[in-house]
Structure 1
Amino acid sequence: HIKDHGSRRGLLKLVGHRRRLLDYLKRNNLSKYTQLIGDLGLRK
C-alpha cells in the first residue's frame, strides 16, 4: 500500500541488514559470497 510507511521502513531495514551481511561476506569469503548470490538469484 502506497501510504504504509511503517511496512516500507521495516522492509528497508531488513534489506539494509542483508546488504551489510553480504558486504561482510564479500570482504571475508568471496567464493562463498558468489555462490550465495547465485543460489539466491541476487545481483544480475
Structure 2
Amino acid sequence: MIDRDTVIDNDGIHGMKQMIGSHHMKLGRRRFRLSYFQGSATVVG
C-alpha cells in the first residue's frame, strides 16, 4: 500500500508469480506498507 491505496493485491496461496503495479505520486514523504505470508514449500503443489 502507498498512502492507503492498494497498488498490488497478490493474495492467496500460490506459487511465485510476478505482479507489477503503478501509483502516481507527488513529491514528499509517503507511507509504504508491505504485508506478506510465506507458507512452507509443500503448501503449493
TM range, smaller chain: under 0.3
Q: Which has the higher contact order (CA 8 A, sep 6+)?
A: 2
**TM-score, normalised relative to structure 1:** 0.18
Higher helix share: 1
